Structure 1
């Protein structure tokens, strides 16, 4: 089969012929890929940022946002059958450790991460496990929802945590209305009665944010922090979700957070630098957010099937992988880039 491989760091990806994955264990599921999301993490992988953490052996197939159709199943698989339309939780988990038994499988002690530390979905087929496949509604197509497997799931996870602390009359600030942020806005509008304020440098992104359920759009790059404070009566928002995490957004996000509020960090790239006395005196919580759980993904797909979350995509054939990578790296993708074998 055809697969897009990492052959070396700081080198271009390469399309190669590799063996199609086969069922080797009772809980294995082989999926025919219908769509694979192109994520900024993939750029970081090519830069070598994940080399030490993942310990992956090169060459390997990249791609961790995947959806498609079940092609084969192991002897003990009962939750899906050949032909089922599925989206894949990004982790392959054990089901036996404490985190898995708590439903917090993203922190599984014995996980594999296709596309990060083992072969992923920039390919015609991918092997995963029964624990990782979520059946999707017949109204949804794999290429339309693939990036919800990570970008959408990460956004849902942070927003769901945040929304539990919000009530009518509260305000939430969402920093960044791009690939993750535009999903987060929709999830927040679906889950919470709070007033949504979106901050982004791109006026077109803010226009989309208002169409997706935000009440206010604030252009970053000037006195946007003061503008947010004005919109929140001078107090800041009860919840701030930062999908950027660099370029000064962390200090600005904390300034936009109300006393006893929560600042959620999702994007990464810089340090959070805050005097401990400020944390104590304001009782602001700084909360890190990783990708969501299997149950989070199932809930997100229910919102997608109900038409409450729509992924904006730019689609590319698999052999145009370099165009997709270049477009993402140069800011030419609105929403998420999707590779289709």
Structure 2
């Protein structure tokens, strides 16, 4: 028995995707199953774990200095499944319930949590980033992170909404007050995050949605999601957007790419007093300060959304207003999935199914 009066369950062995060394792809190997050690613990049998470009960046070492995670550890921060075991104080879910997991495990007591801004919890853990994640058969999280799914919703179908959808929704929710009818919102990138952002925009605003992507096949799909105008990002796209907006630029640009030149183009397409929402990352935002103050434009950073954001997003998903394009892979094929994502062959979101 531990200090909380909980008797830990005896654990077996499970498969998990483990990162042992940066710049080297992860391995699928046997590790001990997580066990209940705290009254508010929840262990979930994973039904789907989303593959995110962040996972590629983690392997590349981009998060090493920020996460300070000890290697080896288990990847996977977009997770859904079925409740496998609960601590003695957990009452809102039961074993067998289908659930989606908010990506953060938060304390509930700090000022940020008390204000509903749990994304900035002072004592948070981020499974898949700084502790073991859900690219495994089981994952342990906190009762505060578990959202019960509606009847008939399959975890693998919504798993990536836990981060990709949640991040897109969070950015759109912040942008919506700026997007009254008659405005223009440019969406940079129609991939894993962008296709969800387009749908959230359409569900929540009457703005004109202009979508940019290098891939014409990806652009062709966006009309069904709510895009009003599509533009191939072929080098002339900034001029095209300026022409569409009478030379003024868009009120809001949602940059779901954040690298390979998109971070520069996004700023160039915002109008005076407009806002450049940085969501994708990997590049560098380099803007002369005089350009910021002389036009009163804004650069807005965006992290994953809050628990309440996830609950709201699941309402849109249940109503069919946000649907995720997915491609599934068995857990053992994680590196095939990473190859497809890195090469641009993946449409929507890759989902690993243990």
Q: Partner residue of 1:171?
A: 184
**Is it true that 1:126 corresponds to 2:139 in the alignment?**
yes
TM-score for both structures, normalised by structure 1: 0.98
TM-score for both structures, normalised by structure 2: 0.94
Post-superposition Cα deviations, 1:28-78, rounded to whole Å, max 9, x if no partner, equal 000000000011111111112222221111111111110001111111112
Secondary structure of 1:225's match? helix
Distance 1:217 1:17 in 2: 46
**Is it true that 1:91 corresponds to 2:141 in the alignment?**
no
Q: Partner residue of 1:205?
A: 218
Distance 1:17 1:250 in 2: 40
**Is it true that 1:196 corresponds to 2:179 in the alignment?**
no
Secondary structure of 1:323's match? helix
Distance 1:224 1:139 in 2: 42
Secondary structure of 2:339's match? helix
Match for residue 43 of structure 2 among 30, 46, 59: 30
Post-superposition Cα deviations, 1:97-122, rounded to whole Å, max 9, x if no partner, equal 11111111111110111111111111
Q: Partner residue of 2:199?
A: 186
Post-superposition Cα deviations, 1:188-233, rounded to whole Å, max 9, x if no partner, equal 0000011100111111111111121010001112311111111112
Q: Partner residue of 1:217?
A: 230
Secondary structure of 2:123's match? coil
Distance 1:80 1:233 in 2: 53
Aligned residues: 341
Match for residue 319 of structure 1 among 322, 325, 332: 332
Secondary structure of 1:18's match? strand
Compare 27-36 and 17-26 and name the one that shifted more: 17-26
Matches for 1:73-152 after TM superposition, within 5 Å? 73-152=86-165
Distance 1:321 1:199 in 2: 29
Distance 1:22 1:239 in 2: 46
Secondary structure of 2:93's match? coil
Distance 1:144 1:99 in 2: 31
Q: Partner residue of 1:160?
A: 173
**Is it true that 1:243 corresponds to 2:259 in the alignment?**
no
Could you list the structure 1 runs, at least 4 aligned residues long, displaced by more than 6 angstroms after superposition.
none
| Structure 1: tracts of 5 or more residues without a match | none
Match for residue 265 of structure 1 among 275, 278, 286: 278
Secondary structure of 1:319's match? helix
**Is it true that 1:310 corresponds to 2:348 in the alignment?**
no
Distance 2:16 2:286 in 1: 42
Secondary structure of 2:178's match? coil
* Kept after mapping to 2: 8 A contact 1:139/1:305: no
Provide the alpha-carbon RMSD of the alignment: 1.0
Q: Partner residue of 1:64?
A: 77
* Kept after mapping to 2: 8 A contact 1:173/1:240: yes
| Structure 2: tracts of 5 or more residues without a match | 1-13
Secondary structure of 1:292's match? coil
Secondary structure of 1:164's match? helix
